Structure 1
Amino acid sequence: MKSEPAVGHITKGSVFDDPALFDPERAAELKMRAAILRGLERWLENSGMTQTAAARHLGVTQARVSDIKRGRISGFSLDLLVRLAARAGLKPTLRLAA
């Protein structure tokens, strides 16, 4: 009979907030990248465009659009995501909190 694995800890909120997985600086960047990627995913869904048309609009390949749709965050830098969001008309902004 298999025993269930022990749970070391449980993270509430975002997985990026787990200090066992990410240092605070990396977590901040990943949260921003994830937010923009989710916005681009929604834009793609609501645009009604094919992946090929969306790729043309964003100035990337169809494979990159597929990566956006699949949420492959590791394939996108923060600066690229900001540029893609701007091309999609999403008007990316940054707000800092103390």
Structure 2
Amino acid sequence: MERQQFDNVWDALEDTPEAAESMKVRSALMTHLQERVQGWGVTQAEAARRLGVTQPRLNDLLRGRISNFSLDALVNLLGKAGLRLEVHVKDAA
């Protein structure tokens, strides 16, 4: 079996470069949201209220259940968390 090397775990796990890129972005957004929520130092119930989600939904976020969140959902949560998204696009080559 030939050994392969990847720049990112998502490149290894996903079937297409497009799917890997989506997961990279979703993962980064989730990480920022997790850090923000943890930085609040409040209960999960209060954090869920601030984000306008249910406590089970917040738990999915905090546990990194990335497949439960679309890019749109994560962008909306960023706004509710008081974060702003800036996009920088560059050549893949």
Structure 1 position 32 matched with structure 2 position 54: no
Q: Which structure 1 segments of 5+ residues have no match?
A: 1-6
Amino acid at match of 2:34: E
> For the residues of structure 1 that align with 2:14 and 2:5, how far apart are their CA atoms?
10
Query: What is the root-mean-square deviation of aligned Cα atoms in Å?
Result: 1.6
> Once the two structures are superposed, what CA deviation does each residue of 1:9-40 show, in whole Å capped at 9, x if it has no partner?
3434321122x733011111111100000001
TM-score (norm 2): 0.88
Deviation at 1:8, TM superposition (A): 4.8
Instruction: Considering fraction of residues, name the structure with more helix.
Output: 2
Structure 1 position 93 matched with structure 2 position 86: yes
Larger radius of gyration: 1
Q: How many residues were matched structurally?
A: 91
TM-score (norm 1): 0.83
Q: Which residue of 2 aligns with 1:4?
A: none
Say whether the 8 Å CA contact 1:16–1:22 is kept in structure 2.
no
Structure 1 position 75 matched with structure 2 position 68: yes
Say whether the 8 Å CA contact 1:11–1:17 is kept in structure 2.
no
Which of 40, 58, 65 is the equivalent residue of 2:51? 58
Q: Which residue of 2 aligns with 1:11?
A: 5
> For the residues of structure 2 that align with 1:83 and 1:23, how far apart are their CA atoms?
26
- Counting aligned pairs with the same residue, the percent is 41
